[in-house]
Amino acid sequence: MITAFFVFALGAMFGSFASAILHRTRYGGSVLRGRSRCVSCTRELSAVDLVPVVSWIVRKGRCRMCAVPVSWQYLALEVGMGGVFLAAYASACGVRLHDGLPGPCTADFTRLAAFLFVLALVFVYDARHGEIPDSFSVSGIILGLTVNLVRAPEEWWRLLLAVAAGAAFFGAQHLLGRGRWIGTGDILVGAMMGALVGWPGVLTALFAGYLIGFAFVIALLVTGKKKMKDRIPLGPFLTAGTALVLLFPQLSIRYAFW
């Protein structure tokens, strides 16, 4: 279980980092520089305040200095990213978590973890604020293209086809709806999906994303939590569909003539 603990702890650390990125992207501040501060009293947080999961539990969800409650979303993101990293490890290595981190699968695990980290940023930001920063999508496109081209340079045409298909899918909707259905940010998200999962994985990711979104919206309408006129962010469903394809590539649509 040592490996499981290590992988979860690593994911929780990146979950804490993701919280800092999300907050500074929304309210200003350098992502790479500057110390983390309490959002209530603005005092700098020490190392003991930044231990993922543990510090929140020990402090009972309150700031050590001003005792103001700290949102449970910080804890949820840290625990969630820990779980995501465990899933990435299991998908990449295909071995039991207590067998150790084998050398041959370390690269695949790193690739999956990096891709899922970017998807988590898009998921949470869009779920919270109803928009997706272009910087997240562009970073995902660059990361996906770079890593996948290095991993399989002979597949460059499939990768470019996937990026074009993802962007065109939302671009067509943007044009047909004259900007009312789909925003320009979704076009970049489509391109990012293609860069991360390639061709024809992007088709499965789009299908899965819309299927998950449809089921979720129906549930909200039936329970009365949302109405037909309410706007529901699309990003969380698209990133969930993309994550499924990354973690379970066997689900990807395949064509014999490809």
What are 66-79's pLDDT values in tens digits?
A: 767 777 888 899 99
- pLDDT band with cut points at 50, 70 and 90 for residue 84: very high
Does residue 255 share a domain with residue 137?
Answer: yes
Does residue 173 share a domain with residue 58?
Answer: no
Residue 116 lies in a domain: no
pLDDT at 220: 85
| Owning domain of residue 187 | 132-258
Does residue 138 share a domain with residue 243?
Answer: yes
Structural domains in the chain (count): 2
Does residue 96 share a domain with residue 138?
Answer: no
What span, in angstroms and rounded, lies between the C-alpha atoms of 145 and 156? Answer: 9
Does residue 136 share a domain with residue 96?
Answer: no
User: Rounded to the nearest 5 degrees, what angle is found at the Cα of 197, between the Cα atoms of 192 and 200?
Assistant: 110
Residue 5 lies in a domain: yes
Kindly state the average pLDDT of the residues 1-22. Answer: 88
Does residue 251 share a domain with residue 209?
Answer: yes
Kindly state the average pLDDT of the residues 232-245. Answer: 92
What span, in angstroms and rounded, lies between the C-alpha atoms of 83 and 9? Answer: 10
pTM: 0.87
Does residue 145 share a domain with residue 37?
Answer: no
Does residue 256 share a domain with residue 147?
Answer: yes
Segment 134-152, tens digit of pLDDT:
999 999 999 999 999 999 8
Determine phi and psi for 152, rounding to 5 degrees.
Answer: -145, 75
What span, in angstroms and rounded, lies between the C-alpha atoms of 223 and 29? Answer: 39
